[in-house]
Amino acid sequence: MEGQESTFAQRLLGALKLDALTYHEIGVDPEASKQAAVVFVAVATITAGTDAIAENRKLVEIALGLLSWPLGVLELAWIWAVGVRIYPKPDPPPRFVPLLRVMAFAMTPLVFSPLVLVPEMETVFSFVIGLWALACAAVALRVVFGYESVWDAVGLYVVAVGVIFVPAIVVIFAVFFLLSP
């Protein structure tokens, strides 16, 4: 593949195989934005459809589920900001759009979400698919931020999410205990 651009299918398979070179190629290729958009919409549709079937949801609830995906973009913006400001590595820092591209491809394992509908296996498939998607995200973050270790990327994610969720959890518990009789 040296000197030659991968096809969309090759990029999907490379993303699923946790191939850092594939994530690098996606990150540096502006044309991959269209492919990332296709992955994003496909994953959003498949996961919303799977949730709808599993939870017996109505069309309005499915639409609301699809609308929640912009929150994922906000989460990525936060991770990017933390990576650039608090947990910096490369000079110059990475740009946001390549992060969007590689993280869309990192969610490729979620196309297997319908497997959670298999009776007696939903927990196993949910765990494996979720862990696979997290591993893909860690590799993608490592590539975009230029970290030498995938653990640096995991650290970035933990710090970024911790900065958001720990205070939120503290506030929720505080309100709960203050409002409890």
CA atoms within 13 A on the CB side of 126: 12
Alpha helices (runs of H) in the chain, residue ranges in sequence order? 8-16, 20-28, 32-55, 59-67, 69-85, 96-106, 122-145, 150-179
Q: Please check whether residue 42 lies inside any domain of the structure.
A: yes
pLDDT computed for residue 49 by the predictor: 79
The parent domain of residue 121 ranges over 8-179
Residue 36: inside a domain: yes
- pLDDT tens, 13-72? 999 999 999 999 999 999 999 999 999 888 888 887 787 777 776 666 666 666 666 777
The model's pLDDT over 5-26, given as tens digits with 9 standing for 90+, comes to 789 999 999 999 999 999 999 9
Q: Model's pTM, two decimal places?
A: 0.78
Indicate whether 126 belongs to any domain.
Answer: yes
User: How far, in Å, CA of 164 to CA of 175, rounded?
Assistant: 17
Q: Does 131 map to a domain?
A: yes
- Residue 170's pLDDT band (boundaries 50, 70, 90)? confident
Per-residue pLDDT tens over the stretch 121-154: 888 998 999 899 989 999 999 998 888 888 988 8
Please give the pLDDT value at position 112: 93
Number of folded domains that form the chain: 1
Q: Quick check: is 144 in a domain?
A: yes
Indicate whether 110 belongs to any domain. Answer: yes
Do the domain assignments include residue 3?
Answer: no
Residue 1 lies in a domain: no
- Mean local confidence (pLDDT), 162-178: 75
- 112, 120, 122, 97: which is closest to 36 by C-alpha? 97
